[in-house]
Amino acid sequence: MIDDFAKAYLHEDLRWARRSILAKVEGLSEYDRRRPLTRTGTNLLGLVKHLTVSEARYLGDVLGRPFPQSVPRFDDPHFANRDSLWVTEQESYAEVIDGYQRACRHADATIDALPIDAACSVPWWPQPDAKLFNVMVHVLTETNRHAGHADILREQIDGAVGAGTPTASALDEAGWAAHRSKVEEAARAAGSLS
C-alpha cells in the first residue's frame, strides 16, 4: 500500500515540475527562449532539452525500456553535459518541446508499467544498484533543480514570477523595490557584523 502511495506521490510531483518548466518557456520570443543568461550559457529552452535527455535515459534506458528516439548517451566518451544545455538555430521550439513531451510520456509509461521496487543499474552512479524509486527521486530532483533555474531566468527576462504559468506579480514595481531594499539592508547589516 505504501509503495503505491509513494509512487503516485512522486509521479504527481514530477508531473507538476514538468508543467512548471514548460510554462517558463511559453509566451517568449525565440531569442528570449534561447539566449544565454548566465556566464555558463544557461538558457530556458536548453534546460528543456537537457531534461529530455534525463527523462529518456533514466526513466527509459536505465530501466530496460529504451526511448525510441536518439538522445545523447551519458556513457558516450564524447558526451559533454553542456552539449545538451543549449539549442541550435536548426532545432525549432516546437521540436524541442515535442521531444520533451514524448520523453515524458515514455517515462510515464515506464513508471506505470513497473513496481516502485523494480531493480535497475545506473553505471555512472557511485552505488549503481538502484530501484525505480531511486530513479524517480533523481529525476524529480533534477527537474525541480532546473525549474528553479528557469524561475530565475524567466524573472530576468520579463519579471514573471511564480509557479506554473508566469503571471503578473502580486506586488507592483514599487513594492518589489521596497522588498529588495529591505533584503539589501539586512545583507549589509549582517555583513558589517562579520
User: Per-residue pLDDT tens for 24-80?
Assistant: 999 999 999 999 999 999 999 999 999 999 999 999 999 999 999 887 776 666 666
Share of the chain above pLDDT 70, in %: 91
pLDDT band at 165 (very low <50, low <70, confident <90, very high): very low
Check: CB of residue 98 under 8 Å from CB of residue 50.
no
According to the model, what pLDDT value does residue 70 have? 82
Exposed e or buried b for every residue in 37-74, given b needs 16+ CB within 10 A? beeeebbbbbbbbbbbbbbbbbbbbbbebebeeebbeb
The overall pTM is greater than 0.85: yes
Mean pLDDT over each residue of the chain, to the nearest integer:
90
